[in-house]
A and B are shown apart, each in its own frame.
Chain A
Amino acid sequence: MLEIDDLWVNIDDKEVLKGINLRVPVGETHILFGKNGSGKSSLLMTIMGFERFAVKQGRISFLGQDITQLPIYERARLGLGLSFQRPPTIRGVKTADVLRVCSRGAIVPEVLAAAYDFTQFLDREINYGFSGGELKRSELLQLLAQNPKMALLDEPESGVDMENLQVVGAIIAKLLQKERRPQAREKSGLIITHTGFIMDYVNADKGYILLEGRLLCSGNPRDILQDIKRFGYEECTRCRR
């Protein structure tokens, strides 16, 4: 589904990604760990095509098509979807309208919201004054409306309370077709998490640690998380290198 080869990315003059190679096959979900500031969000934003992230070298392809130069909305229309770590507020634009936009008119926001306890936010300006957990739910519902082939989730569970974690988990499970047999899954995911809580709700096939713009190791995501907890990032990247 997603193939990244030798990707080098700058923000202004700062190198944030240094030779990333990554493959996420159809139906698989991969997990990205890494210290604060290591470049995880930058990687997702680059895959989505944000202008600030200048690709200096390398190639991103999605569904067999080179998308490295495509504008954001064309990537979205091809089937890439991103839930933001820190989404912006847009004054005056109603959440319901954004949900409608995401689905290109295919869903009824009221119905979607009712299913995930989100009705009271429909009339509010998108993300304006939303609490941390509310922002995450808003992001994920937008993705659900968008129904992407591949979901890029940037810390979808951070700041979410235990009860809402269930809601968030359910949305992500739906996005990634967890209810299907692994071979029958058509959707892929790339998820950033610090806590790993989200792995209870998805089938995480593979994990990585990103350190200073480099993907340093890969393996079973639960094992990696264990090691990070036990030995810390420095030690962990050294041993798994």
Chain B
Amino acid sequence: MPEIKQRAELGRKKKATFGRDLNLEEFSRQGGAWEYDPDYRQFSPEERSRLLATGIELTDEDHAGTFLLADKAIVHCQTRQPGVEVLPITEAASRHDWVKDLLWGLVAVDADKYTAAAELDLDNGYFIRALPGAQISQPVESCLYLRTDRFAQHIHNLVVVEEGASLHIITGCATHPGVISGLHVGVSEFYVKKGGRLTFTMVHNWGKEVHVRPRTAVMVEEGGTYVSNYILLRPVKSVQMYPTVTLNGEGAVARMQSIVIAHPGSELDIGGRVILKAPHTRAEIIARTLALGGVSIARGHLVGLAPDIKAHLECRGLILGNGVVYAMPELEGRVVGVDMSHEAAVGKIAAEEVEYLMARGLDEDEAVSTIVRGFLNVKIEGLPPALEEEMEQAIQESGKGL
């Protein structure tokens, strides 16, 4: 342990490889002292609707477990189904002695100043575990909530899907409607054991001046499956993340999908990397970026280290108005017998497509929305209905005022 602290100390000032560099001292570490809230009573209707639009329903009903962290305070934490464990990470470490061995097992503590901050000055985070063989049918809902303006939130999450278990986590990260600026640092380490399955759906809904630095790594063992969905529809100042999935055992599968909208003033640098380390592993990365005036860098990286692997990367950007999309797909094959491909396309909406639909009777706004809806049409299973509505609304709005 002291060694980890030492490395974190050394990484304290280290700039991240990507994304604009932030001065952590410009943020406050004074979070609100929010009380534990078993019935979600402290949330105003305004907050509720904002969280709902982030996929957070604020109810224990229909959820295998729930977790809500506001600033640095655990406000809610419940387990509702057998076979699943939901705990604050600080508590999990004292409950299971092996937890400490998993922390920083996948993400380097000295990767950059953000990972270092999460170690040196941790707020909390979630620990979610599916016990061996447990098929957890309802999703676990977790919410990381910035409720105080200018607050820098330091999170460390751990997910363990034990052998043969299956789990769906929906995590919504949002700011209070009154919060404009802030920083969210979230280290997440996910372990999917042999034959396990984890579906991780993350929805971001931040304030206009909020900076976001997730640091995620996933290890998938033999026959395991990891599916991630990432959705960002609303304005944010900057998001920089490059989650990395390692397919460590034969036949492991990863699928990463993202739907991202870059509003004016937003700087997004969002990637996905899969390292295919074992034979017969498969990976697919699908990224959709809609630039509505903001700047978006979409990175993707497939690394094939074993024979008989198959991987595909699809990165498409659509520019409405003055946005910028950089698509940077990378394929790296290091042995024979890898089958890796990519498809990248960035462009504006073609007038020809709009007119085609207009010839069928749609007005211009309807035609643009239809094309945008098609563009963003990535199949994501198990989205809460409110989130589907939110997406539809974002699509409708994006077609306006071109």
Residue on B nearest A145 in the bound complex, by CB: B360
- Determine, out of B35-43, B59-67, B361-369, B382-390, the stretch whose residues face the partner at the interface: B361-369
Contact with A along B105-149 (1 / 0, CB 8 A): 000000000000000000000000000000000000000000000
List chain B residues, Cβ under 8 A from A60: none
List chain A residues, Cβ under 8 A from B350: 88
Is the C-beta of B375 less than 8 angstroms from some C-beta in chain A?
yes
Residue on B nearest A48 in the bound complex, by CB: B359
- Determine, out of A68-76, A108-116, A196-204, the stretch whose residues face the partner at the interface: A68-76
Residues A82 and B355 in contact, CB atoms below 8 Å apart: no
Residues A101 and B370 in contact, CB atoms below 8 Å apart: yes
List chain A residues, Cβ under 8 A from B373: 92-93
Residue on A nearest B372 in the bound complex, by CB: A92
Complex CA gap A142/B364 in Å reads 19
Interface size class of A (residues with CB under 8 A): 20 to 34
With known contacts A51-B351, A72-B355, A87-B356, A92–B361 Cβ distance under 8 A: no
Interface size class of B (residues with CB under 8 A): 20 to 34
With known contacts A50-B355, A51-B355, A72-B355, A92–B376 Cβ distance under 8 A: yes
Is the C-beta of A91 less than 8 angstroms from some C-beta in chain B?
yes
Is the C-beta of A84 less than 8 angstroms from some C-beta in chain B?
yes
List chain B residues, Cβ under 8 A from A91: 316, 374-375
Is the C-beta of B371 less than 8 angstroms from some C-beta in chain A?
yes
From the candidates B353, B359, B363, name the one contacting A90 in the complex (CB within 8 A). B353
A201 to chain B, nearest CB (A): 23
Complex CA gap A71/B354 in Å reads 12
From the candidates A51, A81, A84, A146, name the one contacting B356 in the complex (CB within 8 A). A84
Complex CA gap A91/B288 in Å reads 12
Complex CA gap A82/B356 in Å reads 9
B358, B359, B360, B362 — most chain A CB neighbours (10 Å) = B359
Residues B351 and A90 in contact, CB atoms below 8 Å apart: no
B250 to chain A, nearest CB (A): 33
Is the C-beta of B377 less than 8 angstroms from some C-beta in chain A?
yes
B289 to chain A, nearest CB (A): 14
Residues B361 and A88 in contact, CB atoms below 8 Å apart: no
Residues A101 and B351 in contact, CB atoms below 8 Å apart: no
List chain A residues, Cβ under 8 A from B3: none
Complex CA gap A71/B351 in Å reads 14
Is the C-beta of A125 less than 8 angstroms from some C-beta in chain B?
yes
> Which A29-61 residues have a C-beta within 8 angstroms of B?
48, 50-51
Is the C-beta of A77 less than 8 angstroms from some C-beta in chain B?
yes
From the candidates A73, A87, A142, name the one contacting B358 in the complex (CB within 8 A). A73
Residues A73 and B362 in contact, CB atoms below 8 Å apart: yes
Complex CA gap A101/B369 in Å reads 12
Residues B353 and A88 in contact, CB atoms below 8 Å apart: yes
Is the C-beta of B357 less than 8 angstroms from some C-beta in chain A?
yes
> Which applies to chain A's interface (DSSP): helix, strand, loop or mixed?
mixed
Is the C-beta of B352 less than 8 angstroms from some C-beta in chain A?
yes
With known contacts A101-B362, A104-B361, A92–B356 Cβ distance under 8 A: no
Complex CA gap A88/B355 in Å reads 10
Is the C-beta of A4 less than 8 angstroms from some C-beta in chain B?
no
List chain A residues, Cβ under 8 A from B351: 51
B349 to chain A, nearest CB (A): 10
Is the C-beta of A26 less than 8 angstroms from some C-beta in chain B?
no
A143 to chain B, nearest CB (A): 9
Is the C-beta of A9 less than 8 angstroms from some C-beta in chain B?
no
B290 to chain A, nearest CB (A): 12
Residues A92 and B355 in contact, CB atoms below 8 Å apart: no
Is the C-beta of A102 less than 8 angstroms from some C-beta in chain B?
yes
B392 to chain A, nearest CB (A): 14
Is the C-beta of A216 less than 8 angstroms from some C-beta in chain B?
no
Complex CA gap A175/B19 in Å reads 57
Residues B358 and A101 in contact, CB atoms below 8 Å apart: no
Complex CA gap A71/B363 in Å reads 9
Complex CA gap A142/B371 in Å reads 17
Residue on A nearest B377 in the bound complex, by CB: A92
Is the C-beta of A98 less than 8 angstroms from some C-beta in chain B?
yes
B253 to chain A, nearest CB (A): 24
List chain B residues, Cβ under 8 A from A146: 360-361
B272 to chain A, nearest CB (A): 20
Complex CA gap A93/B353 in Å reads 11
Contact with A along B268-290 (1 / 0, CB 8 A): 00000000000000000000000
A96 to chain B, nearest CB (A): 12
List chain A residues, Cβ under 8 A from B352: 88
Complex CA gap A142/B359 in Å reads 11
Residue on B nearest A76 in the bound complex, by CB: B361
Complex CA gap A98/B357 in Å reads 8
Complex CA gap A94/B377 in Å reads 10
With known contacts A51-B351, A93-B371, A82–B376 Cβ distance under 8 A: no
B355, B371, B377 — most chain A CB neighbours (10 Å) = B355
A181 to chain B, nearest CB (A): 30
A23 to chain B, nearest CB (A): 23
From the candidates A82, A125, A142, name the one contacting B374 in the complex (CB within 8 A). A125
Residues of A within 8 A of B (CB): 48, 50-51, 71-73, 76-77, 81-82, 84, 87-88, 90-94, 97-98, 101-102, 104, 125, 142, 146
19 example contacts (A-B, Cβ-Cβ < 8 A) are as follows: A50-B359, A72-B355, A73-B358, A73-B359, A73-B361, A73-B363, A73-B364, A73-B367, A81-B359, A88-B356, A91-B375, A93-B370, A93-B371, A97-B370, A98-B357, A98-B360, A101-B357, A101-B362, A104-B361
- Extra A-B contacts (7), CB below 8 Å, given A48-B359, A73-B359: A51-B355, A88-B353, A90-B374, A92-B375, A93-B371, A101-B357, A146-B360
List 4 tightest A-B contacts by C-beta distance, closest first: A92-B374, A93-B374, A72-B358, A92-B377
